[in-house]
Structure 1
Amino acid sequence: MTKEEIVLIISDKLRLIRTEAGYTQDKMANIIGLSKKTLVQIEKGRVMASWTAVIAICALFKDSETLTTSLGGEPLEIIETIAREGIDYRKEKTLGGKVWWKDVKKNDEYILQQNLFSQHFRILDFEDYRIYSSFDENNAHKRFDELTGK
């Protein structure tokens, strides 16, 4: 999934996200830092949301069922993966991939998974903490092999 694809998905789903939260256009525009006119233009499909607005929406509405089902899991994880492509970052506890994920490789310490919707890869440790994410399959396999000493 690319930045452009995420912008398209969020722009397309913005009205649903807003109504799911129970906000008026005025309130939603104020929360995500847009003018009401811009919000209306996005909701009518005349313009796309900016990357900054998409990040704000994903952060502020990360528990939105619309966002979760549209992106195949945790919205912020997908945003972070795109923004930090191929970089290890702080450990973050996950649910272990019970939904939205398939296991690609596994050993006693780490598991490499692929998201069924966004198709991005992540590496979890044995306690289900995410330590790496990437859309690049080769880099994900390489990082897994480095971690496992293969």
Structure 2
Amino acid sequence: MDRDFIIQIASENLKTIRTEHNYTQDKMAEILGISKKTLVQIEKERTLADWTTAIAICALFRESCILQKQMGGDPLEVIELTVHDVIIRPQEKTMGGHIMWKNITEYKGFKLQRNLLSKHFRILDDENYRLISTFDEQVAKEKWKDIQRTI
């Protein structure tokens, strides 16, 4: 995934997200920090949101089923990966990848998984906490080998 794809998803789904939350155009424009005119232009697909607005949509509405379905999970994780390439730090507990994830391999409860939509990789510990996320398959496999050596 890249910035253009995230912008496209956020822009195409803005009206649905707004109506899902029962916000008026005025209120949604205020929440996102854009003019109502800009919001209307995005909703009518005459223009795309800019990168900052797309991030605001994903951050403020990250629990939106629409965004999560389109991005294959947490929109902010996808944005972080787009910007940083690799995220290595313990994060929130996941559901273990029952939806949108394919297990590539498992070892002593740890899992190396790939997202079915965004195609990024992650490693979960034995309690389903995310340890690493990356779009780079080589990095994921190297970290997987490191984990296997240390546990």
The answer on 1:144 being equivalent to 2:139 is no
Paired position in structure 2 for 1:8: 8
Paired position in structure 1 for 2:27: 27
Distance 1:123 1:50 in 2: 31
Paired position in structure 1 for 2:73: 73
Distance 1:61 1:38 in 2: 18
Aligned sequence identity (%): 50
5+ residue gaps in structure 2? none
Paired position in structure 2 for 1:98: 98
Distance 1:20 1:146 in 2: 43
- Aligned CA RMSD, in angstroms, stands at 1.5
Paired position in structure 1 for 2:119: 119
Q: How many Å apart are 1:12 and its aligned residue?
A: 0.9
CA deviation string 1:98-137 (max 9, x = no partner)? 1110101210152111111111111111111111111111
Distance 2:54 2:148 in 1: 35
Secondary structure at the counterpart of residue 114 of structure 1: strand
**How many pairs are equivalent?**
150
More moved, 27-36 vs 80-89: 80-89
Q: How many Å apart are 1:81 and its aligned residue?
A: 2.0
Normalised by the size of structure 1, how large is the TM-score? 0.92
Paired position in structure 2 for 1:61: 61
CA deviation string 1:16-73 (max 9, x = no partner)? 1111111111100111111111111111222211222122111211121211211122
**Structure 2 counterpart of 1:128, one-letter code:** N
Decide whether the 8 Å contact of 1:122 with 1:140 is kept in 2. yes
